[in-house]
């Protein structure tokens, strides 16, 4: 039985370990942290199981859903499926109906609340143009340049929140081509592709716990608290680097200097999540609402955790997400607490904690060249930063993990 060592136990590493085990490899997975999950993991604060960031899956994440099914995760119990909606607490904005694609998009745009017919027509005209052009644009284009024909309201209530949530960059910085790829897969890839899948459990319970149990049951070795400083002892068999790009760059500096330099050159953006508790009764249209974001009110989305779970500990808990965050933790917390009061009209919110993932995603800018999956002979890399069509998402991580394991057979 051929051995493979997988360094890193995030979603990419776990996906690679599961696929390699299925392919008949003797798998050993080594994770430096005390827990699995990487940048999508459980964070326990004073006994309350939270997450290091509020993640959303969509129906187009087919490899992620395939992995969950392999692990025996009951996705209906673990995920709340909703048609795509980007509405505020008053129900203003876009909400797609539960209709076959692309009829759902047409009806959703035409019935968007608070949008004029000029707003709606600009989006339909632009979307038709993207489809006609095969969802391709010039490599140098930003999302803002791609969307120049859209009205300010459509930009503010649809494109900006979609861009910041998918690419973790503002529309003036983010890659137009990657954004188009996300739109194509979400809105034009069949029924249910655009649905939002909101976790009803913490991220550790959603996948890493199940992956650990599955791997152990199938003979793989999984070890935490195992920081690897040198690849030398592992080079007698296959190695998959599933650690963050900056760690992979350090480990490959002497083995593949060009690849290492490319991985080290990636820049990263942060995501902050502010968790609060309230006793007020909420009347939001959905478990997730969009917020009017500005520099002094940076949160783009709010989640009612209590409506996602019957767990008594989650009742009254809200998670507010600041994508592409740049300020310090205390500043972010103060600004978001003001947002909760002024925009959500919640006056008794008490802070639970603020979690800042400083290098949550790579900066998905136009013309960015990402490192390839093969580092050198016998060494492969996987992670959401590896060359591919997607930005830094769970789906990109899982896809790259599958691809790295499949490459071991070549």
Are 381 and 240 spatial neighbours (Cβ–Cβ below 8 Å)? yes
Residue 324, CA distances (Å) to 158, 270, 318, 332 in order = 17, 5, 20, 12
Q: Residue 310: its pLDDT value, please?
A: 82
Q: Residue 237: its pLDDT value, please?
A: 87
- For each successive 10 residues of the chain (410 residues), what is the average pLDDT? 95 98 98 96 95 93 98 97 94 93 93 96 96 96 97 96 95 98 92 95 97 98 97 92 98 97 98 97 94 95 94 94 96 98 97 97 97 96 97 98 94
Q: Residue 216: its pLDDT value, please?
A: 98
All domains of the chain in start order, with CATH = 3-40+59-74+203-267+365-407 (3.50.50.60), 84-192 (no CATH), 268-362 (3.90.660.10)
Q: Residue 358: its pLDDT value, please?
A: 96
Measured CA to CA, the distance from residue 10 to residue 13 in angstroms comes to 5
Over residues 261-303, the pLDDT tens digits come to 999 999 999 999 999 999 999 999 999 999 999 999 999 999 9
Q: Residue 379: its pLDDT value, please?
A: 97
Which DSSP string do the residues of 77-129 spell out, in sequence order? HHEEEE--EEE-TT--EEE--SS-TTHHHHHHHHT-BT--HHHHHHHHHHHHH
Contact partners, residue 346, CB within 8 Å, separation at least 6:
278, 280, 318, 340
Strands 288-290 and 350-362: unpaired
pTM, rounded to two decimals:
0.96
Residue carrying structure tokens 């959303």: 56
Write out the H or E segment, with its range, that includes residue 379.
strand 379-381
Q: Residue 8: its pLDDT value, please?
A: 98
Residue carrying structure tokens 């391709």: 136
Measured CA to CA, the distance from residue 298 to residue 325 in angstroms comes to 8
Contact partners, residue 233, CB within 8 Å, separation at least 6:
none
């Amino acid at each position: 039985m051929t051995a493979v060592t997988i360094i890193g136990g995030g979603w990419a590493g776990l996906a690679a370990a599961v696929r390699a085990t299925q392919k008949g490899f003797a798998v050993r997975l080594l994770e430096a942290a005390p827990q699995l999950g990487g940048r999508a993991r459980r964070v326990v604060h004073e006994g309350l199981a939270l997450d290091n960031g509020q993640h959303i899956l969509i129906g187009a994440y087919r490899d992620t859903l395939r992995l969950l099914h392999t692990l025996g995760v009951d996705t209906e119990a673990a995920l709340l499926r909703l048609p795509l909606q980007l509405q505020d607490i008053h129900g203003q904005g876009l909400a797609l109906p539960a209709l076959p694609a692309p009829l759902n998009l047409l009806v959703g745009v035409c019935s968007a609340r608070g949008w004029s017919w000029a707003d709606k027509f600009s989006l339909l005209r632009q979307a038709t143009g993207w489809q006609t052009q095969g969802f391709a644009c010039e490599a140098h284009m930003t999302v803002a340049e791609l969307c120049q024909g859209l009205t300010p309201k459509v930009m503010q209530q649809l494109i900006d929140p979609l861009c910041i949530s998918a690419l973790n960059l503002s529309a003036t910085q983010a890659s137009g081509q990657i954004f188009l790829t996300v739109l194509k897969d979400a809105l034009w890839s069949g029924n249910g592709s655009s649905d939002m899948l909101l976790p009803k459990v913490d991220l550790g319970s959603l996948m890493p716990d199940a992956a650990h149990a599955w791997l152990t049951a199938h003979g793989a070795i999984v070890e935490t608290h195992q920081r690897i400083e040198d690849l030398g002892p592992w080079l007698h068999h296959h190695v998959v680097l599933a650690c963050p790009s900056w760690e992979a760059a350090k480990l490959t500096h002497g083995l593949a200097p060009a690849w290492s330099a490319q991985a080290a050159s990636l820049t990263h953006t942060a995501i902050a999540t502010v968790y609060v508790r309230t006793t007020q009764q909420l009347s939001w249209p959905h478990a997730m609402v969009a917020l009017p974001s500005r520099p002094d009110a940076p949160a783009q989305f709010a989640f009612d955790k209590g409506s996602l779970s019957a767990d008594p500990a989650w009742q009254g808990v809200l998670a507010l997400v600041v994508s592409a965050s740049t300020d310090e933790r205390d500043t972010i917390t103060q600004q978001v607490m003001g947002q909760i009061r002024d925009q959500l009209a919640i006056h008794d919110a008490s802070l639970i904690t603020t979690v800042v993932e400083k290098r949550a995603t790579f900066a998905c800018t136009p013309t960015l060249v990402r490192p390839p999956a093969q580092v050198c002979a016998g060494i492969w890399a996987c992670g959401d930063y590896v060359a591919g069509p997607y930005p830094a998402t769970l789906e990109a991580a899982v896809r790259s993990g599958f691809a790295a394991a499949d490459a071991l057979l070549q």
